Amino acid sequence: MKQLRLLAATILFSIPMSVLAKPQALPSKLSAKEIKEQALLVELTGKDLSKENDIGLYAEMVSAYQRDDEIAFKSRLQALLTRFPQSSYADNALFLAGRMAVDHNNYAEAVKYFAQIEKQYPRSNKVAAAKFAKAMTYKKMNLPDFAATNLKEVRTKYPGSPESFRAQAELKTLR
């Protein structure tokens, strides 16, 4: 991971200033930092994410998730959430981000993503799954009280859902 950061920093500083000197080609509301970040993403990925629609970004995210390419995944996640915050794919993208964080043992980040789904997309079909996943993440963090609280909430708020049945079974194992 450190090598990737060094590579990204090296590439960022080696980008010719002519790439950044064309304000006509970029929307005028972008700051200098955002322009540099976009230029870096174009350099690293070979694609200009500012020209992608939400479906294309989500498809590339799923592909990056399957390849376990965290850098490509997070760059597309950021692009999707900033450009299309009300996209029907935003909640699914956050859920995948949480799953990837759990896969990489980054539990605090995973909890943040799952909580973000609950907060920003309360009517989403992923809320019950995110709440259950958050409980399982707490269980992995060896925080059984937090896990139990979330599992009970899944059971009471979403009765009849697959997650409520799984929550019931998990509560039995926590005792």
Query: Which residue type does 30 have?
Result: L
Percent of the chain surpassing pLDDT 90? 67
The whole-angstrom separation of Cα 111 and Cα 67 is 22
**Backbone phi and psi for residue 123, each to the nearest 5 degrees, phi listed first:** -100, 10
Q: Which domains does the chain have, with CATH numbers?
A: 1-51 (no CATH), 52-174 (1.25.40.10)
pLDDT of residue 146: 96
pLDDT at 3: 55
Specify the pTM: 0.71
Mean pLDDT of 28-37: 66
Please report, for the chain, how many H helices and E strands are present, in that order: 10, 0
Question: What is the pLDDT, as a whole number, of residue 73?
Answer: 95
Half-sphere exposure of 13 (CA within 13 A, CB side): 5
Average pLDDT over residues 68-83: 93
What is the rounded average pLDDT for all residues in the chain?
82
Classify residue 154 as exposed, middle or buried by CB count within 10 Å of its CB (0-12, 13-18, 19+). Answer: buried
Higher pLDDT, 89 or 31: 89
